[in-house]
Structure 1
Amino acid sequence: MSRALVHLLGVLWLCCWLASTGESQIEYLRYKDPKQPVPTRVRDLMSRMTLEEKIGQMVQIDRSVANANVMKTSFIGSVLSGGGSEPLPRATAEDWVNMINDFQKGALESRLGIPMIYGIDAVHGHNNVYNATIFPHNVGLGCTRQGFVISDWQGIDRLTSPPSSNYTYSVQASIEAGVDMVMVPFEYGKFIQDLTLLVKSNIIPMERIDDAVERILLVKFTMGLFENPLADTSLVNELGSQEHRDLAREAVRKSLVLLKNGKNESASLLPLPKKVPKILVAGSHADNLGYQCGGWTIKWQGFSGNSDTRGTTILNAIKSAVDTSTEVVFRDNPDNEFVKSNNFEYAIVVVGEPPYAETAGDSTTLTMMESGPNVINNVCGTVKCVVVIISGRPIVIEPYISSIDALVAAWLPGTEGQGMTDVLFGDYGFTGKLARTWFKSVDQLPMNVGDPHYDPLFPFGFGLTTESVKDLVARSTSAAVGARACIFTIIVTLIISLYLPG
């Protein structure tokens, strides 16, 4: 056999060996093959994972303690931004994408390259992100897909009193109870250490760990994270887009509930006329975007003022809605003499609660901010007024109801104040209904439909409706045409009767 032929056979054998090795390698990494069924991919990946890698998947940490190396070496399954946890002040969408991709690249460099899930408290829009459109708090966005169970922020720490006094017990109790992923969010090393010890000591069975990790991986495969783990910047300009804001504006006007319209049935105040000489806008919440959005906006507890994100306050929405000839006067807390001396056509008073989230909002009195009652008394006792309540729940309003001409429950409408003026000025009609009973006094609480003592100020499902100005005009025009036709018929009938014999 010639040397050339031997060389050729050797090359052919090497090619065949490389090809067979490549095929086996593809089969070996079956979990990375998108053509395989998801359950197959999950089982394949699970079979390759060590205990350390599995426990890492059960950990969620805050972005403030995450970096590419931590993701790689601790096999972290998820990172989150808690309320107000942002890459930098007023971070752009691109800043967020870059930060998250850096974490993801670290996760992908781990032995098995398992991507992480990024979590964020998007309660009413992407509310941690500057310039994001903030929707009304009471508009719910539902999800029905299968998933996994995750604890709340430092939730397992609070299984003991005082919190964290027996962390090993907290880890054991939560995992045995069915928690799949733990929002640690900071001391992840201690959680990993304790859970590892509990498994190696046969206190928590390996089957429970596999059960949790299987559900986590099922979600990641179903989401397509293994094929598309990185975020891109192609949609960053959509943040705060007009399309988003128009949708939120629609949600605002549909969520508003009209509780009173006129001091008697024949004297409705709404819709308000846009063209009048002068109007008053008053109250702590009229020109405060933070109050308008409520908690879980930019920061955990929300913010006060107009500088932390972008949007339209109710005051600015009013100025845009009225006729250019209408003078709009704003006073946060006007006194009675000021109101009397200015000859206002009507007033719009916007008052309510400060922003809050979770236990910081607990209240036994459920009253509005201190200046609110004073503004209502000074303004509504002097001029026709509509009072708009900005709150995350029913609050005490019964003592002031008799002096108010029109009353609107606006809840926490978000960034799009024009949704409020859409209905106040009659571009659209009010359609909202109460999703909660509105009490007369806190002494009645708890109070639910069907209770023997059910005697609310406004019952569950209550809400007055109004027609848009356009519909009112159309109906009036139709009625006028009908009346003219009727008059014409009567006249013709009379004429005929006069000239016909008999």
Structure 2
Amino acid sequence: MIARKHLRRPIHPLYCLNAPVAVLSALALLSLAGAAQARSGQDKFTRETARAKAILAKMTLDEKIGQLIQVEHGSLKDSKDVDKYHVGSVFGGGGSGPRDYTLKGWTEMAQGFATTSIGTRLGVPIVYGTDALHGNNNVPGATIFPHNIGLGATRDPALVRKVARATAEEVRATGINWSFAPCVTVPQDYHWGRVYEGYGQDPALVAQMGAAAVEGLQGNNLAGETSVLACVKHFAADGGTDGGHDQGDAKIDEATLRRVHLPGFAAAIQAGAGTIMPSFSSWNGVKCSGHKHLLTDILKKDMGFEGFLISDWNAIDELGGDYKKDAEISLNAGMDMFMITDKYQQFFDNVKALVAEGAVPQSRIDDAVLRILRVKLAMGMMEKKYTVAVSPAVQKTFGSAAHRQIARQAVRESLVLLKNDRQTLPIAKTIKRIHVCGRGGDDVGMQCGGWTITWQGQMGDVPGGTSILNAIKKSVSPATAVTYSKDGTGAEGASLGIVVVGEIPYAEGVGDRTDLALPQEDRDAIANLKKANIPIVVVLLSGRPMILGDILAQSDAVVAAWLPGTEGQGVTDVLFGDYKPTGKLSFPWPRAMSQIPLHYDDKAADPLFPYGFGLGYHG
């Protein structure tokens, strides 16, 4: 549990974790119209209301409906559709990008869409969104930072703010101005394939880190040339689904929802987040994208959110099957903008018909558009001086040495030392020979995990990255020999072995697992290394705690490195003692699958390593 004095902003009493359960439950069920702290963080949007209303008054119904549409750029049937349908936003990411998949190609694409929208009748620019989850991870050559699970282990909100600021600069270097981040999920079950998107299990930690990420992305001035609109996700309780199933059902009461899953959103709203993305998942059988009590009563009214809601990818398709009816349900529930691929024309026609029929009130359309316009105004997009050009200074930040140094710091602070018998670590840089092995020993793609260049990520090279093997070679003395074999053979005569094992890249439901034991290939590599009768250091790359089994007994030292990203030297900073480990577990570590779900505050549980565990170096 984190002391409240370390939170940069106080959490509203509605979300206080130290309150007695009876008091908390009572408060949770109240509708608190006076969420003053949250609304103070949202005043950058409310103060644009008058200007937004003036623009709204000039808009036709067609132009209003267009603002509700965010279309995937690859699904546009004709580039003229941006004008024809008055499109309010375009998005890419998760492997979707321009034909020229370079910094230049991304920039030209984003600028092209923005230029087209500025030339429309009212000149309301599009806002371009991308999944920049751990750096501008869709663009080759970008700095790839640790995923959130690693950042949570740092317990360092100032560092998270720096990571998000660097990410914002690299996103703006491509001409893009909206990131679908941060994720403030509170994962309850390690079966879930999105555990690594969460900072941890303590809602207070998640709130602290999520607020810092929003502040880093959006900066001090949302209209600044290096600021990016944040999108906090996924509202709400996506980490609390039954059995840890992705897009599943969170079968919890409202008091639990507010106590566990809402503090991260409350803190992000206080920090000034401009957009929030409802989850694909359900709350007690009702899809979040169509849940009026959740989106309107709780989020907009109780929590004081004044920005706009953006759906997840084609989320309204999940609501029932009748596309027109699905649009009606989601709009009336409080959704403001809709992320759509190939059905954007159908959506436009359906919403126009729904308004004509009275199924969706004109006032609901006006409210959604007003919210979108206020955010665009706060971003400076409606000013005469607004330009789609990217300054050369901003482009120079892309993949820069300064950003890679921040990433390296994030990596070394995120590592958690789980075992260190006989002071195996740190390793002397003058050691005679180190044998490196394992699937992850020389694989930057495995270090980065999912959401890296492609949606699922991929094994192999990532441009600009440094593998752990190459980082080891850079760290040791010229007299030290470094050898490598993927399967752990050939270690005879070495002074020490380092085996890098863990999970191959995955994202979302593809990563849902029933068994979190290490794959046989990893176990074989450790067994082969063991035959050399040398000290063994296990570096574990994973998006969640894994079942270590007898691997813990076979090794002399174990380091949880999570999914560190491109900067492998952050790992070797700890292995060779340039940085003494400070990372602490933000999730308890299970002994066996039978312990899952395992909760950080369960006093009766007997985890292998408790929440907050992390060894250091002595002397």
Alignment TM class, shorter chain as reference:
0.7 to 0.9
Tell me the amino acid that sits aligned with residue 106 of structure 1. Answer: T
Q: Determine helix, strand or coil for the equivalent of 1:398.
A: coil
Q: C-alpha deviations, 1:285-324, integer Å up to 9, x for none? A: 0111111100000000001101x42210111000000111
- Would you say 1:110 and 2:120 are equivalent positions? yes
Among candidates 291, 295, 304, match of residue 446 of structure 2: 291
In the alignment, the residues of structure 2 paired with residue 48 and residue 395 of structure 1 have an alpha-carbon distance, to the nearest angstrom, of 57
- Would you say 1:87 and 2:124 are equivalent positions? no
In the alignment, the residues of structure 1 paired with residue 519 and residue 94 of structure 2 have an alpha-carbon distance, to the nearest angstrom, of 24
Q: Bigger relative contact order, structure 1 or 2, given CA contacts below 8 A and separation 6+?
A: 2
2:610 aligns with 459
Displacement after TM superposition at 1:226 (Å): 1.7
In the alignment, the residues of structure 1 paired with residue 101 and residue 122 of structure 2 have an alpha-carbon distance, to the nearest angstrom, of 35
Displacement after TM superposition at 1:89 (Å): 5.0
Displacement after TM superposition at 1:82 (Å): 2.7
1:427 aligns with 578
Q: C-alpha deviations, 1:137-188, integer Å up to 9, x for none? A: 023552232421111111111112xxxx211121111111111101012220
2:567 aligns with 416
1:485 aligns with none
TM-score normalised to the size of structure 2?
0.66
- Seen in structure 2, the aligned counterparts of structure 1 residues 169 and 350 have a Cα distance that, compared at 3 Å, is same
**Structure 1 residues 50-65: aligned runs within 5 Å:** 50-65=60-75
- Would you say 1:384 and 2:558 are equivalent positions? no
Displacement after TM superposition at 1:398 (Å): 2.6
8 Å CA contact retained: 1:277, 1:326: yes
5+ residue gaps, structure 1:
1-36, 473-502
1:320 aligns with 474
Tell me the amino acid that sits aligned with residue 87 of structure 1. Answer: P
- Would you say 1:223 and 2:234 are equivalent positions? no
- Would you say 1:348 and 2:358 are equivalent positions? no
- Seen in structure 2, the aligned counterparts of structure 1 residues 452 and 248 have a Cα distance that, compared at 3 Å, is closer
2:58 aligns with 48
Moved over 6 A (4+): none
In the alignment, the residues of structure 2 paired with residue 239 and residue 316 of structure 1 have an alpha-carbon distance, to the nearest angstrom, of 22
2:343 aligns with 187
1:232 aligns with 390
In the alignment, the residues of structure 1 paired with residue 482 and residue 448 of structure 2 have an alpha-carbon distance, to the nearest angstrom, of 23
Among candidates 138, 150, 155, match of residue 128 of structure 1: 138
- Would you say 1:362 and 2:362 are equivalent positions? no
In the alignment, the residues of structure 1 paired with residue 507 and residue 319 of structure 2 have an alpha-carbon distance, to the nearest angstrom, of 21
Tell me the amino acid that sits aligned with residue 327 of structure 2. Answer: V
1:438 aligns with 589
In the alignment, the residues of structure 2 paired with residue 62 and residue 380 of structure 1 have an alpha-carbon distance, to the nearest angstrom, of 50
Displacement after TM superposition at 1:111 (Å): 1.1
8 Å CA contact retained: 2:56, 2:370: yes
TM-score normalised to the size of structure 1?
0.81
2:361 aligns with 205
8 Å CA contact retained: 1:398, 1:457: no
Identity of aligned residues (%): 44
8 Å CA contact retained: 2:49, 2:370: no
Q: Determine helix, strand or coil for the equivalent of 1:376.
A: helix
In the alignment, the residues of structure 2 paired with residue 89 and residue 384 of structure 1 have an alpha-carbon distance, to the nearest angstrom, of 47
Tell me the amino acid that sits aligned with residue 384 of structure 1. Answer: P
8 Å CA contact retained: 2:444, 2:465: yes
- Would you say 1:334 and 2:488 are equivalent positions? yes
Q: Determine helix, strand or coil for the equivalent of 2:64.
A: helix
- Would you say 1:158 and 2:315 are equivalent positions? no
Tell me the amino acid that sits aligned with residue 588 of structure 2. Answer: T
2:419 aligns with 260
In the alignment, the residues of structure 1 paired with residue 48 and residue 349 of structure 2 have an alpha-carbon distance, to the nearest angstrom, of 30
1:399 aligns with 550
Q: Determine helix, strand or coil for the equivalent of 1:347.
A: strand
- Seen in structure 2, the aligned counterparts of structure 1 residues 41 and 229 have a Cα distance that, compared at 3 Å, is farther
Tell me the amino acid that sits aligned with residue 405 of structure 1. Answer: D
8 Å CA contact retained: 1:438, 1:460: yes
1:33 aligns with none
What RMSD, in angstroms, separates the aligned Cα atoms of the two structures?
1.6
Tell me the amino acid that sits aligned with residue 115 of structure 2. Answer: K
8 Å CA contact retained: 2:583, 2:614: yes
5+ residue gaps, structure 2:
1-46, 152-159, 165-212, 215-270, 275-306
Displacement after TM superposition at 1:464 (Å): 0.5
In the alignment, the residues of structure 2 paired with residue 351 and residue 414 of structure 1 have an alpha-carbon distance, to the nearest angstrom, of 15
1:309 aligns with 463
In the alignment, the residues of structure 2 paired with residue 123 and residue 186 of structure 1 have an alpha-carbon distance, to the nearest angstrom, of 24
Tell me the amino acid that sits aligned with residue 438 of structure 2. Answer: G
In the alignment, the residues of structure 1 paired with residue 139 and residue 453 of structure 2 have an alpha-carbon distance, to the nearest angstrom, of 6
Q: C-alpha deviations, 1:2-49, integer Å up to 9, x for none? A: xxxxxxxxxxxxxxxxxxxxxxxxxxxxxxxxxxx6222101100011
In the alignment, the residues of structure 2 paired with residue 194 and residue 309 of structure 1 have an alpha-carbon distance, to the nearest angstrom, of 44
Q: Determine helix, strand or coil for the equivalent of 1:360.
A: helix
